[in-house]
Protein backbone atom coordinates (compact mmCIF):
# COMPACT_ATOMS: atom_id res chain seq x y z
CA UNK A 1 0.00 0.00 0.00
CA UNK A 2 2.75 2.39 1.09
CA UNK A 3 4.87 1.32 -1.90
CA UNK A 4 2.09 2.12 -4.39
CA UNK A 5 1.50 5.49 -2.74
CA UNK A 6 5.22 6.30 -3.15
CA UNK A 7 5.11 5.23 -6.81
CA UNK A 8 2.05 7.41 -7.46
CA UNK A 9 3.66 10.39 -5.73
CA UNK A 10 6.85 9.89 -7.76
CA UNK A 11 4.81 9.77 -10.99
CA UNK A 12 2.97 12.96 -10.09
CA UNK A 13 6.29 14.66 -9.31
CA UNK A 14 7.72 13.60 -12.68
CA UNK A 15 4.61 14.83 -14.51
CA UNK A 16 4.86 18.17 -12.75
CA UNK A 17 8.59 18.55 -13.31
CA UNK A 18 8.96 17.40 -16.92
CA UNK A 19 7.08 20.29 -18.57
CA UNK A 20 9.24 22.71 -16.59
CA UNK A 21 12.38 20.88 -17.64
CA UNK A 22 11.65 21.75 -21.28
CA UNK A 23 10.07 25.17 -20.68
CA UNK A 24 12.04 28.04 -22.18
CA UNK A 25 11.05 31.59 -21.31
CA UNK A 26 11.39 34.73 -23.42
CA UNK A 27 14.03 36.04 -21.02
CA UNK A 28 16.17 32.91 -21.57
CA UNK A 29 16.53 33.78 -25.24
CA UNK A 30 16.17 37.57 -25.27
CA UNK A 31 17.40 38.78 -21.90
CA UNK A 32 15.26 40.93 -19.60
CA UNK A 33 12.13 42.23 -21.31
CA UNK A 34 12.69 45.85 -22.30
CA UNK A 35 11.21 48.99 -20.82
CA UNK A 36 10.39 51.81 -23.28
CA UNK A 37 13.63 53.40 -24.54
CA UNK A 38 15.87 50.48 -23.62
CA UNK A 39 18.02 48.94 -26.35
CA UNK A 40 16.41 46.07 -28.24
CA UNK A 41 18.41 43.19 -29.69
CA UNK A 42 19.15 43.20 -33.41
CA UNK A 43 18.22 40.35 -35.74
CA UNK A 44 19.75 40.32 -39.21
CA UNK A 45 16.90 39.62 -41.64
CA UNK A 46 17.92 36.79 -44.02
CA UNK A 47 21.51 37.27 -42.77
CA UNK A 48 23.02 40.65 -43.56
CA UNK A 49 21.36 41.43 -46.86
CA UNK A 50 22.86 44.93 -46.90
CA UNK A 51 26.19 43.20 -47.49
CA UNK A 52 25.43 40.13 -49.61
CA UNK A 53 22.51 38.34 -51.30
CA UNK A 54 19.81 37.39 -48.80
CA UNK A 55 19.76 33.89 -47.33
CA UNK A 56 23.16 32.95 -48.75
CA UNK A 57 26.30 31.91 -46.89
CA UNK A 58 28.05 35.26 -47.60
CA UNK A 59 25.08 37.06 -45.99
CA UNK A 60 25.21 34.75 -42.98
CA UNK A 61 28.98 35.01 -42.68
CA UNK A 62 28.68 38.82 -42.65
CA UNK A 63 26.03 38.56 -39.92
CA UNK A 64 28.04 36.06 -37.87
CA UNK A 65 31.11 38.28 -38.10
CA UNK A 66 29.20 41.20 -36.57
CA UNK A 67 27.92 42.03 -33.08
CA UNK A 68 24.35 40.96 -33.85
CA UNK A 69 22.52 38.84 -31.34
CA UNK A 70 20.24 36.98 -33.77
CA UNK A 71 20.47 35.89 -37.38
CA UNK A 72 17.15 35.28 -39.10
CA UNK A 73 16.58 32.88 -41.98
CA UNK A 74 13.78 31.13 -43.89
CA UNK A 75 13.66 27.35 -44.34
CA UNK A 76 11.80 25.33 -46.96
CA UNK A 77 11.95 21.70 -48.04
CA UNK A 78 12.97 20.70 -51.54
CA UNK A 79 10.92 18.16 -53.52
CA UNK A 80 13.17 15.44 -52.10
CA UNK A 81 12.74 16.69 -48.54
CA UNK A 82 16.01 18.53 -47.90
CA UNK A 83 15.85 21.79 -45.90
CA UNK A 84 17.26 24.76 -47.82
CA UNK A 85 17.23 28.49 -47.18
CA UNK A 86 15.03 30.71 -49.29
CA UNK A 87 12.38 33.29 -48.58
CA UNK A 88 10.13 33.16 -51.64
CA UNK A 89 8.04 30.14 -52.59
CA UNK A 90 9.81 30.16 -55.95
CA UNK A 91 13.47 30.49 -56.88
CA UNK A 92 12.64 33.13 -59.53
CA UNK A 93 13.58 36.36 -57.75
CA UNK A 94 16.83 35.28 -56.05
CA UNK A 95 18.36 32.83 -58.52
CA UNK A 96 18.79 32.38 -62.26
CA UNK A 97 16.20 29.58 -62.27
CA UNK A 98 12.44 29.29 -62.17
CA UNK A 99 9.94 27.18 -60.27
CA UNK A 100 8.74 26.44 -56.77
CA UNK A 101 11.26 25.26 -54.18
CA UNK A 102 8.86 22.45 -53.24
CA UNK A 103 8.80 21.23 -56.86
CA UNK A 104 12.56 21.21 -57.44
CA UNK A 105 15.02 18.56 -56.26
CA UNK A 106 18.05 19.49 -54.19
CA UNK A 107 20.26 18.78 -57.21
CA UNK A 108 18.24 21.20 -59.34
CA UNK A 109 18.31 23.91 -56.67
CA UNK A 110 22.03 23.52 -55.99
CA UNK A 111 22.75 24.03 -59.69
CA UNK A 112 21.30 27.56 -59.53
CA UNK A 113 23.20 30.82 -59.18
CA UNK A 114 21.85 32.68 -56.13
CA UNK A 115 24.30 35.58 -56.25
CA UNK A 116 24.45 37.20 -59.71
CA UNK A 117 21.07 38.95 -59.31
CA UNK A 118 22.56 40.87 -56.37
CA UNK A 119 26.01 41.78 -57.70
CA UNK A 120 28.53 40.27 -60.14
CA UNK A 121 31.04 39.45 -57.39
CA UNK A 122 28.54 36.98 -55.90
CA UNK A 123 28.18 35.00 -59.14
CA UNK A 124 28.19 31.29 -58.46
CA UNK A 125 26.87 31.61 -54.90
CA UNK A 126 24.63 28.63 -54.15
CA UNK A 127 21.32 28.32 -52.32
CA UNK A 128 22.50 27.12 -48.90
CA UNK A 129 21.50 23.92 -47.17
CA UNK A 130 20.08 24.43 -43.68
CA UNK A 131 22.97 22.15 -42.61
CA UNK A 132 25.52 24.70 -43.86
CA UNK A 133 23.80 27.46 -41.90
CA UNK A 134 23.86 25.31 -38.75
CA UNK A 135 27.55 24.51 -39.22
CA UNK A 136 28.27 28.24 -39.35
CA UNK A 137 26.01 28.86 -36.36
CA UNK A 138 27.86 26.19 -34.38
CA UNK A 139 31.14 27.99 -35.00
CA UNK A 140 29.82 31.37 -33.83
CA UNK A 141 28.12 32.89 -30.79
CA UNK A 142 24.88 34.24 -32.27
CA UNK A 143 21.39 32.83 -31.89
CA UNK A 144 19.27 31.84 -34.88
CA UNK A 145 15.70 32.88 -35.61
CA UNK A 146 14.66 30.05 -37.89
CA UNK A 147 11.44 30.71 -39.77
CA UNK A 148 9.74 27.64 -41.20
CA UNK A 149 7.99 28.98 -44.29
CA UNK A 150 4.41 27.86 -44.89
CA UNK A 151 2.95 24.60 -43.63
CA UNK A 152 5.23 21.98 -42.07
CA UNK A 153 4.28 18.43 -41.06
CA UNK A 154 5.66 16.89 -37.84
CA UNK A 155 7.96 14.75 -40.02
CA UNK A 156 9.32 17.88 -41.73
CA UNK A 157 9.87 19.50 -38.35
CA UNK A 158 11.77 16.40 -37.22
CA UNK A 159 14.15 16.76 -40.19
CA UNK A 160 15.25 20.23 -39.12
CA UNK A 161 15.24 19.23 -35.48
CA UNK A 162 17.63 16.32 -36.08
CA UNK A 163 20.01 18.65 -37.92
CA UNK A 164 19.90 21.13 -35.02
CA UNK A 165 20.55 18.52 -32.32
CA UNK A 166 23.27 16.87 -34.39
CA UNK A 167 25.28 20.08 -34.10
CA UNK A 168 24.41 20.78 -30.46
CA UNK A 169 23.03 24.26 -31.20
CA UNK A 170 19.54 23.60 -29.81
CA UNK A 171 20.00 26.19 -27.05
CA UNK A 172 20.64 28.92 -29.62
CA UNK A 173 17.67 28.35 -31.91
CA UNK A 174 14.23 29.97 -31.83
CA UNK A 175 11.66 28.78 -34.36
CA UNK A 176 9.24 31.21 -36.03
CA UNK A 177 6.23 30.77 -38.27
CA UNK A 178 3.24 32.61 -39.67
CA UNK A 179 1.40 29.30 -39.96
CA UNK A 180 -0.39 28.36 -36.75
CA UNK A 181 -0.64 24.68 -37.64
CA UNK A 182 3.12 24.65 -38.13
CA UNK A 183 3.51 26.37 -34.74
CA UNK A 184 1.35 23.64 -33.17
CA UNK A 185 3.48 20.95 -34.80
CA UNK A 186 6.60 22.70 -33.50
CA UNK A 187 5.14 22.75 -29.98
CA UNK A 188 4.40 19.01 -30.14
CA UNK A 189 7.50 17.85 -31.98
CA UNK A 190 10.13 20.24 -30.65
CA UNK A 191 8.83 21.37 -27.23
CA UNK A 192 12.31 22.19 -25.90
CA UNK A 193 13.08 24.66 -28.67
CA UNK A 194 11.26 27.96 -28.13
CA UNK A 195 8.93 29.27 -30.81
CA UNK A 196 7.53 32.63 -31.78
CA UNK A 197 4.42 33.44 -33.80
CA UNK A 198 4.64 35.95 -36.65
CA UNK A 199 1.50 38.08 -36.99
CA UNK A 200 1.46 41.03 -39.34
CA UNK A 201 -1.71 42.24 -37.55
CA UNK A 202 -1.83 41.60 -33.83
CA UNK A 203 -4.97 39.83 -32.63
CA UNK A 204 -7.07 41.47 -29.91
CA UNK A 205 -5.51 39.14 -27.34
CA UNK A 206 -1.88 38.51 -28.29
CA UNK A 207 -1.14 37.09 -24.82
CA UNK A 208 -3.88 34.50 -25.25
CA UNK A 209 -2.60 33.59 -28.71
CA UNK A 210 1.01 33.18 -27.55
CA UNK A 211 0.00 31.18 -24.49
CA UNK A 212 -2.32 28.91 -26.49
CA UNK A 213 0.63 27.87 -28.69
CA UNK A 214 3.13 28.04 -25.83
CA UNK A 215 5.13 30.63 -27.77
CA UNK A 216 7.66 32.87 -26.01
CA UNK A 217 7.01 35.94 -28.16
CA UNK A 218 5.15 37.45 -31.09
CA UNK A 219 6.78 39.11 -34.08
CA UNK A 220 4.63 41.89 -35.47
CA UNK A 221 4.68 45.20 -37.35
CA UNK A 222 4.93 48.79 -36.07
CA UNK A 223 1.53 49.52 -37.64
CA UNK A 224 0.02 46.81 -35.51
CA UNK A 225 1.54 48.33 -32.37
CA UNK A 226 0.21 51.77 -33.37
CA UNK A 227 -3.29 50.26 -33.31
CA UNK A 228 -2.74 48.71 -29.89
CA UNK A 229 -0.03 50.66 -28.04
CA UNK A 230 -0.67 48.78 -24.78
CA UNK A 231 0.01 45.40 -26.36
CA UNK A 232 3.72 45.42 -25.51
CA UNK A 233 2.96 46.09 -21.83
CA UNK A 234 0.38 43.29 -21.70
CA UNK A 235 2.79 40.87 -23.37
CA UNK A 236 5.61 41.83 -20.99
CA UNK A 237 3.40 41.50 -17.93
CA UNK A 238 2.70 37.94 -19.09
CA UNK A 239 6.44 37.27 -19.48
CA UNK A 240 6.22 37.28 -23.30
CA UNK A 241 8.48 39.07 -25.77
CA UNK A 242 7.62 41.38 -28.68
CA UNK A 243 9.71 41.66 -31.84
CA UNK A 244 9.05 43.88 -34.84
CA UNK A 245 9.83 43.42 -38.53
CA UNK A 246 11.27 44.64 -40.88
CA UNK A 247 12.50 48.06 -39.77
CA UNK A 248 15.13 49.83 -41.83
CA UNK A 249 15.09 53.52 -40.88
CA UNK A 250 16.15 55.49 -37.79
CA UNK A 251 12.62 56.84 -37.50
CA UNK A 252 11.21 53.32 -37.35
CA UNK A 253 13.94 52.14 -34.95
CA UNK A 254 13.31 54.96 -32.54
CA UNK A 255 9.53 54.40 -32.63
CA UNK A 256 10.11 50.72 -31.88
CA UNK A 257 12.37 51.46 -28.90
CA UNK A 258 9.78 53.88 -27.57
CA UNK A 259 7.28 51.00 -27.47
CA UNK A 260 9.78 48.92 -25.48
CA UNK A 261 10.04 46.10 -28.03
CA UNK A 262 12.61 43.42 -27.23
CA UNK A 263 14.01 42.83 -30.69
CA UNK A 264 14.12 44.51 -34.10
CA UNK A 265 14.44 42.53 -37.32
CA UNK A 266 16.19 44.60 -39.96
CA UNK A 267 17.77 44.47 -43.40
CA UNK A 268 20.48 46.85 -42.12
CA UNK A 269 21.79 45.03 -39.07
CA UNK A 270 25.19 46.74 -38.81
CA UNK A 271 23.62 50.19 -39.14
CA UNK A 272 20.99 49.41 -36.52
CA UNK A 273 23.60 47.98 -34.18
CA UNK A 274 25.70 51.15 -34.53
CA UNK A 275 22.64 53.36 -34.13
CA UNK A 276 21.56 51.57 -30.94
CA UNK A 277 25.07 51.78 -29.51
CA UNK A 278 25.13 55.52 -30.22
CA UNK A 279 21.60 56.43 -29.14
CA UNK A 280 20.37 53.94 -26.54
CA UNK A 281 22.53 53.46 -23.45
CA UNK A 282 23.22 50.02 -22.05
CA UNK A 283 24.64 48.19 -25.07
Write out the DSSP string of 39-94. PPEEEETTTTTTTS-TTSHHHHHHHHTSS-SEEEEEEEE-TTS-EEE-SSSBSTTT
- Interaction residues for ligand G3P, span 64-123 (CB under 6 A): 72, 74, 87
- Interaction residues for ligand G3P, span 126-185 (CB under 6 A): 147, 176
To the nearest whole angstrom, how small is the minimum distance from the Cβ of residue 199 to ligand G3P? 10
Angle at 55 between CA 51 and CA 29, to 5 degrees: 95
How many residues touch ligand G3P (CB under 6 A)? Answer: 11
Residue (105 or 181) nearer to ligand G3P, CB: 181
Instruction: Choose from ligand G3P, Ca ion, none: what does 265 bind? Cβ within 5-8 Å by kind.
Output: ligand G3P
Phi, psi of 6 (to 5 degrees): -65, -45
Instruction: Choose from ligand G3P, Ca ion, none: what does 167 bind? Cβ within 5-8 Å by kind.
Output: none
Instruction: Choose from Ca ion, ligand G3P, none: what does 160 bind? Cβ within 5-8 Å by kind.
Output: none
Q: How far apart are CA 130 and CA 167, in angstroms?
A: 12
138: Cα within 13 Å, side-chain hemisphere:
14
Q: How far apart are CA 9 and CA 15, in angstroms?
A: 10
Classify residue 248 as exposed, middle or buried by CB count within 10 Å of its CB (0-12, 13-18, 19+): middle
Residue (176 or 235) nearer to ligand G3P, CB: 176
Please give the C-alpha separations between residue 98 and each of 105, 110, 114, 122, 142, in angstroms, as whole numbers.
13, 13, 12, 19, 33
Residue (95 or 236) nearer to Ca ion, CB: 95
Residue (133 or 245) nearer to ligand G3P, CB: 245
Residue 265 touching ligand G3P (CB under 6 A): yes
Residue 198 touching ligand G3P (CB under 6 A): yes
Residue 245 touching ligand G3P (CB under 6 A): yes
Among 29, 163, 215, 219, contact with ligand G3P (rule: CB under 6 A): 219
Residue (265 or 272) nearer to ligand G3P, CB: 265
Count of helix runs (H) and strand runs (E) in the chain: 12, 9
Q: How far apart are CA 79 and CA 270, in angstroms?
A: 35
**Biggest alpha carbon–alpha carbon distance for the chain:** 78
Residue nearest to ligand G3P (CB): 245
Residue (176 or 202) nearer to ligand G3P, CB: 176
Give residues in contact with ligand G3P (CB under 6 A).
45, 72, 74, 87, 147, 176, 198, 219, 245-246, 265
Amino acid sequence: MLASAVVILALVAVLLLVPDAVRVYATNMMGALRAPGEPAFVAGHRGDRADAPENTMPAFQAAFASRLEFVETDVQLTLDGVPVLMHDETVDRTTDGTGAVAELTLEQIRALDAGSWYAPEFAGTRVPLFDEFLDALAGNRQKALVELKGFWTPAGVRTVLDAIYLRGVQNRVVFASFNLTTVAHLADTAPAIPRVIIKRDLPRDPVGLANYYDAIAIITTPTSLEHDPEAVTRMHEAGLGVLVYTLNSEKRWSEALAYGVDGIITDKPSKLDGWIAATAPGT
